[in-house]
Chain A
Amino acid sequence: MKTTLSLTVNGINRDDVVPDNMLLVDYLREKAGLTGTKIGCDGGECGACTVLINDRPRHACLTLAATCQNAKVETVDGLSRDGRLTAIQRGFHEKLGAQCGFCTPGMIMASEALLRRNPDPSEADIRAALAANICRCTGYVKIIEAVQFAARELSA
């Protein structure tokens, strides 16, 4: 069965007919062509698919697209405007927060959600907010520095 889905993705209104069994991550990657969101595991364990739904971080691989009726969905693809990186993207760039880069879209979206709620997070706040995101390269130190960099940029 199919559902007519109306939502905004990265600020753009969309109406799509989606199968009831379609996951949000497949909708974003295949219907909307936004391949920034990655599929890492099959059980909500890695966080690579993290997107924002109504400003809150959620796993796109454990969310049915048809349950996002009238939702505001944001992915890593929509952050930069006119080629200008956002503070959190600059942080990951400046502080070498990305190595292989596969976890980075999820890390960035989880960090973005944190900074919207708490523009001045402590290191413990950052660690807690990124607890559901796994990185196998960096050892997390550079990622935490990246978020701290972004927080400083935003407050400047």
Chain B
Amino acid sequence: MEYLPEMRLYHPATVEEAIKLHAAAPSGRYLAGGSDLLVNIRRGIETPDNLVYLNGIAEMHAITDAPGQISIGAAVNLRDLAESNLLREHFSAVTQAAGDVAGPSHREYGTLGGNLCLDTRCVFYNQSEWWRAANNYCLKYRGDICHVAPGGKKCFAAFSGDVAPALLLFDAEVELAGPDGRRRIALAALYRNDGMDHLTLGKGEILVAVHVPKNPIPITTGYAKSRVRGSIDFPLAGVAVRMGLQDEKIADLRIGLTGVSPLPFLVRGLDKFIGRKPDDSCLEEMRDVVRGQAKAMKTTLTPPHYRRRVAGALAQKLAETIF
């Protein structure tokens, strides 16, 4: 058991104040729920000397229902997200994914913003200091070798947030606030394919809110994940599916993946299924497309080939059951 290092904690009341406090702190981090950041600090992976606590900012706790879109504050906790009837009505995959994050006590304080900005994870990285030291550290932190792909210069630590792939189904946008003001970008543009530096957030930028456009026609969506402990765990693979039928033929199809690469992403090349009947052969073909793009690496104790196969199988099962 390690005590936390010396740190200073700030309690801003507004986003602007938080950004100023962060700018004044040499190695500061924003803290919301803390279910992941505090673990990483205790394990010595993160070493901030200042923490700027975001949960006191009222603006970041609101869920707002506007005519064309719903806005969700980044500090909304995952339980409230999972239990929101408004969100379930429009974006059921999002509420399912939020309800599948970790266990019930984590969801009481883990936040939407924290889940979207979750650090990438790897079995060689999320370990105690002595474990990592005994293993000569790794590319992601303090070391110069990647134990997942020795010889490579790329980090494969996997993004393991559950909510992001579900939000990708709906063209969600994120509102960021930083020292240079506010900007709005597509959620997909928040991520890059680099386990060491997977977020495109600028220095001092905060994810303030997520804006999700409502779909003009109702669409059916769902989320499912595979994990080691069924009750509480990060995804070995997480799959969000959005599917719409017209005259019993597929008219709309999107699949989001998480846990299998350094970023969450939408599966490419699904256009060929539009206009087809979702029969067994069609869904098996779709499963194989998902499996081909779920390029899981050796970042968990569970072997990569299982995670690739289970990603495809979950997509197939979801497509079969969400109707």
Contacts of A55-71 to chain B: CB distance below 8 A: 56-59, 62-64, 66-67, 69
**Given A44-B35, A131-B232, CB of A58 within 8 Å of CB of B105:** yes
* Beta-carbon contact of B231 and A131 below 8 Å: yes
Which A residue's beta carbon lies closest to that of B233?
A: A45
Q: A42-B1, A42-B39, A62-B35 are in contact. Are A132 and B8 (CB under 8 A)?
A: no
Indicate whether B280 reaches chain A with its CB closer than 8 angstroms: no
How many whole Å from A86's CB to the nearest CB in chain B? 20
* Interface size in chain B (residues, C-beta < 8 A): 31
When distances are taken between beta carbons in the complex, the residues of chain B under 8 Å from A64 are 9, 31, 34, 38, 51, 53
Contact present for A43 and B7 (CB under 8 Å): no
Q: Chain A contacts of B247 at CB under 8 A?
A: none
- Answer yes or no: B109 CB below 8 A from chain A CBs: yes
- Interface hits, A38-84 → B, CB 8 Å: 39, 42-45, 47, 50, 56-59, 62-64, 66-67, 69
Q: In the bound complex, do residue A132 and residue B232 qualify as a contact, i.e. CB atoms below 8 Å apart?
A: yes
Across the interface, do A132 and B105 meet the contact criterion of CB distance under 8 Å?
Answer: yes
In the complex with contacts A67-B55, A110-B105, A132-B104, A21-B35 CB distance below 8 A:
no
The verdict on A124 contacting chain B, using a C-beta distance below 8 Å, is: no
- Residues B9 and A1 in contact, CB atoms below 8 Å apart: yes
Assembled-state Cα–Cα distance A64/B103 (Å): 19
Judge whether B8 and A47 touch: CB under 8 Å: no
Enumerate chain B residues within 8 angstroms of A67, measured Cβ to Cβ: 9, 34, 53, 55
State in angstroms the CA–CA spacing of A56 and B38 once bound together: 20
Residues of A within 8 A of B38 (CB): 23, 62, 64
A44 near B106 (CB under 8 angstroms)? yes
B248 contacts partner chain A, Cβ-Cβ < 8 Å: no
Per-residue A-contact encoding for B104-123, CB less than 8 Å = 1, 0 else: 11101100000000000000
| Shortest Cβ gap from A139 to chain B (Å) | 14
B2 touches A132 (CB 8 A): no
User: Is the C-beta of A129 less than 8 angstroms from some C-beta in chain B?
Assistant: yes
Within 8 A of A (CB), among B272-298: none
Q: Is residue B42 within 8 Å, beta carbon to beta carbon, of the partner chain?
A: yes
Contact for A21 among B3, B79, B106, CB less than 8 A? B3
B26 CB, nearest partner CB in chain A, Å: 14
Is B303 an interface residue, CB under 8 A from the partner?
A: no
**What 0/1 readout, one digit per residue, does chain B (41-55) give for beta carbons within 8 Å of chain A?**
011000000010101
B4 at the interface (CB under 8 A from A): yes
Q: How far is the CA of A1 from the CA of B3 in the complex (A)?
A: 15
Q: Is A20 an interface residue (CB 8 A)?
A: yes
| A50 and B109 within 8 A (CB) | no
Which listed residue, A20, A45, A110, touches B232 by the CB 8 Å rule? A45
B5 within 8 A of A: yes
**CB <8 Å contact, A62 and B108:** no
Give the contacts of B6-31 with A (CB-CB under 8 A). 6-9, 11, 31
Instruction: State whether the Cβ of B237 lies closer than 8 Å to any Cβ in chain A.
Output: no
- Contact: B42 with A57, CB < 8 Å? no
Say whether A128 faces chain B, with CB atoms less than 8 Å apart: yes
Judge whether A3 is part of the interface by a CB distance below 8 angstroms: yes
B257 contacts partner chain A, Cβ-Cβ < 8 Å: no
Are B4 and A63 interface neighbours, CB within 8 A?
Answer: no
CB atoms of B104 and A42 under 8 A apart = no
Asked if B102 is an interface residue, CB under 8 A from chain A, the answer is yes
CA distance A133 to B103 in the complex (A): 8
CB-defined contacts of B1 to chain A, threshold 8 Å: 39, 42
Instruction: Give the interface of B toward A (CB within 8 A).
Output: 1-9, 11, 31, 34-35, 38-39, 42-43, 51, 53, 55, 79, 102-106, 108-109, 128, 231-232
| A-B complex: 5 closest residue pairs judged by Cβ atoms | A132-B103, A131-B231, A20-B9, A21-B4, A1-B8
